Amino acid sequence: MIVDERVRDYIHSLEPEQGCLEEEIAREAEAGNIPIIKKETAAMLKTLVTAKKPGAILEVGTAVGYSALLMAGVMPDSCRITTIEKYGPRILAARENFKKAGVEDRVTLMEGDAGEILKSLKGPYDLIFMDAAKGQYIHWLSDIIRLMAPGAMLFSDNVLQEGTIVQSRYGVERRDRTIHGRMREYLYRLKHMEELETAIVPVGDGVALSVLKEQRKETERNTG
């Protein structure tokens, strides 16, 4: 946890109920040790979707469908979500949750490896939510940028890795060093790409919010 636990608990105490289904999914995910978006991060995501009013959302990492349902609850009626998941049991759970929520016609779940699927997508998307294999963020970035509409927002979750991101590679467990190095590279790229404006926010396990500058995208299109 990046922030003081007392502050986190206070923020959590302010959160209203998400809805019977969403609360049930959250409880089952916690009991089954299935990672879902943290409460304070979920509140930020919902607020940004509400403000952005996207026409199309791409989610990389469906899990059991919790975050997709949160976004579906606040996005415009005309908006559609494309979400990607490769783990079979979670795909089944997500499809069942989408059916229970009655959003099957608004959420398209694509099964398979995110890297391969991203290359096949055309876009554009107004908002992209990244919450999958953290060590792959850097490898997906070029396709993510290609899929973003001018002015689109990229919401990358879990980028501070419980605070260990600030340590040197020798300060983290050997098994975590590859992911640690790739995430540091990913954050550096986000902050130094001319076409993006990025803020790294210590909310939940760390969020990177990136906006694709409209002028840069239009220039690329005109010269492409």
pLDDT bucket at 102, cuts 50 / 70 / 90: very high
Separation CA 157–CA 153 (nearest Å): 13
Main-chain dihedrals φ then ψ at residue 4, nearest 5 degrees:
-55, 135
Separation CA 113–CA 60 (nearest Å): 10
Q: In sequence order, which residues have a C-beta less than 8 Å from that of residue 170 and are 6 or more positions away?
A: none
Which residue would you say has higher pLDDT here, 167 or 42? 42
Average pLDDT over the chain reads 88
Q: What pTM, to 2 d.p., does this model score?
A: 0.89
Tens-place pLDDT, residues 105-144: 999 999 999 999 999 999 899 999 999 988 999 999 999 9
CB-hemisphere CA count at 13 Å for 219? 7
- In this prediction, residues 21-50 reach a mean pLDDT of 91
How does DSSP assign the chain, residue by residue? --S-HHHHHHHHHHPPP--HHHHHHHHHHHHTT-----HHHHHHHHHHHHHH--SEEEEE--TTSHHHHHHHTTS-TT-EEEEEE--HHHHHHHHHHHHHHT-TTTEEEEES-HHHHHHH----EEEEEE-S-GGGHHHHHHHHHHHEEEEEEEEEES-SGGGGGGS-GGGS-GGGHHHHHHHHHHHHHHHH-TTEEEEEE-STT-EEEEEE-HHHHHHHHHH-
- In this prediction, residues 188-209 reach a mean pLDDT of 94
Please answer whether residues 85 and 62 qualify as being in contact, where contact means their C-beta atoms are separated by less than 8 angstroms. yes
Question: Which pLDDT does position 131 carry in this prediction?
Answer: 94
Question: Which pLDDT does position 184 carry in this prediction?
Answer: 86
Question: Which pLDDT does position 178 carry in this prediction?
Answer: 73
Which residue would you say has higher pLDDT here, 218 or 173? 173
Which residue would you say has higher pLDDT here, 172 or 128? 128
Tens-place pLDDT, residues 29-43: 888 888 889 989 999
With 80 as the cut, is the pLDDT of residue 176 above it? no
Question: Which pLDDT does position 193 carry in this prediction?
Answer: 96
Separation CA 187–CA 175 (nearest Å): 20
The Cα-based distances of 176 to 134, 168, 222 in angstroms read 11, 12, 42
Question: Which pLDDT does position 165 carry in this prediction?
Answer: 65
Prior bond of 35 cis (ω within 30°): no
The domains of the chain, with CATH numbers, are: 5-223 (3.40.50.150)
With 60 as the cut, is the pLDDT of residue 219 above it? no
